[in-house]
């Protein structure tokens, strides 16, 4: 079993994901929001790569029970019901709803990897559930870090390293690419105090400037949700495990 980490989605072709098992990470905040919304009872998340497409599909599709969510430059988009704060996605608001979600990096990464055979959503919140599932699959894994504006982001790579370290607890014979080994090293250096690490990243600082400290606290919680969002047929739903 081989694990590779893609440090950013830039220069990757959609078709390169065909047949692969891919795990997407965007700790701040898209994948934390998706995990949280589904855990709070949302029916499904429809990730989209542009605001225009979000507005278009919110029209008549999905039985009229849709909510529009997402951000531009960390802030809620005008006319949308929700921003991209995981704390907004409470059971009261999202239960039974289809949520069309646009975010600057995270949902674009999901859409880019849409041809994967299996496509999962990971954050610190559901990291051990994700590791258990990967261990049960015994297949090669691509971890795609959403990054920031097509560049590297520390928080996503630390999360990738922590995920691989968790998988390694039960599987010793993993073949690790150079980026997978580097991610493990970054987790060793930066992954002990997740809240502190997140606050000191470029995107963390921007979120702090915009008043989202509570979001960072929430996104830094490890293994609080035992759910695995899985993309299939253009929507993300919770994986039902036997």
Query: Would you state the structure tokens that stand for residue 16, as one six-digit string?
Result: 């390169």
191: contact with ligand MLT by CB under 6 A: no
Whichever of 101 and 167 has its CB closer to ligand MLT, that residue is: 101
Which residues 98-127 are close enough to bind ligand MLT by CB under 6 A? 103-106
Q: What is the closest distance, in whole angstroms, from the C-beta atom of residue 9 to ligand MLT in the complex? A: 11
Stretch that binds ligand MLT, among 25-33, 193-201, 217-225, 234-242 (CB under 6 A): 25-33
Backbone angles phi, psi at 130, to 5 degrees: -65, -45
Residue nearest ligand MLT, Cβ-based: 103
Alpha helices in the chain (DSSP H): 30-39, 51-58, 91-94, 106-112, 127-137, 154-170, 178-190, 194-199, 202-209, 213-219
Which CB sits closer to ligand MLT, 28 or 167?
28
In the bound complex, what is the minimum distance in angstroms from residue 27's beta carbon to ligand MLT? 9
Tell me how far, at minimum, the Cβ of 215 lies from ligand MLT, in Å: 8
Q: How far apart are CA 122 and CA 239, in angstroms?
A: 12
CB of 219 to ligand MLT, least distance (A): 9
Contact present, 96 and 49 (Cβ < 8 Å): no
Residues in region 32-91 near ligand MLT by CB under 6 A: 71, 74, 84
| 107 touches 100 (CB < 8 A) | no
User: First-to-last CA distance in the chain?
Assistant: 23
Q: What is the pattern of x (binds ligand MLT, CB under 6 A) and - over residues 193-222?
A: --------------x---------------
Give the 3-state secondary structure of 180-191: HHHHHHHHHHHC
**Which chain residues interact with ligand MLT by CB under 6 A?**
26, 28-30, 71, 74, 84, 103-106, 207
């Amino acid at each position: 079993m081989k694990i590779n980490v893609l440090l950013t989605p830039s220069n990757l072709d959609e078709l390169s994901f065909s047949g692969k098992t891919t795990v997407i990470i965007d700790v701040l905040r898209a994948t934390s929001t998706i995990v949280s919304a589904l855990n709070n009872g949302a029916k499904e998340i429809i990730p989209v790569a542009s605001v225009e497409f979000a507005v278009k599909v919110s029209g008549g599709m999905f039985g009229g029970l849709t909510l529009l969510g997402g951000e531009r430059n960390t802030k809620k988009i005008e006319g949308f019901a929700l921003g991209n704060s995981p704390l907004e996605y409470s059971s009261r608001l999202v239960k039974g709803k289809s949520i069309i979600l646009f975010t600057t990096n995270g949902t674009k990464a999901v859409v880019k990897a849409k041809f994967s055979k299996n496509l999962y959503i990971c954050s610190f919140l559901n990291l051990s559930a994700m590791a258990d599932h990967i261990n049960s699959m015994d297949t090669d894994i691509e971890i795609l870090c959403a990054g920031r504006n097509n560049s590297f982001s520390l928080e996503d790579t630390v999360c990738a390293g922590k995920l691989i370290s968790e998988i390694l607890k039960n599987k010793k014979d993993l073949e690790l690419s150079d980026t997978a080994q580097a991610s493990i090293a970054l987790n060793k250096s930066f992954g002990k105090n997740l809240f502190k690490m997140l606050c000191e990243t470029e995107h963390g600082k921007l979120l702090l400037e915009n008043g989202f400290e509570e979001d960072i606290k929430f996104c830094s919680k490890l293994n609080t949700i035992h759910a695995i969002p899985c993309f299939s047929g253009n929507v993300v739903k919770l994986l039902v495990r036997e």
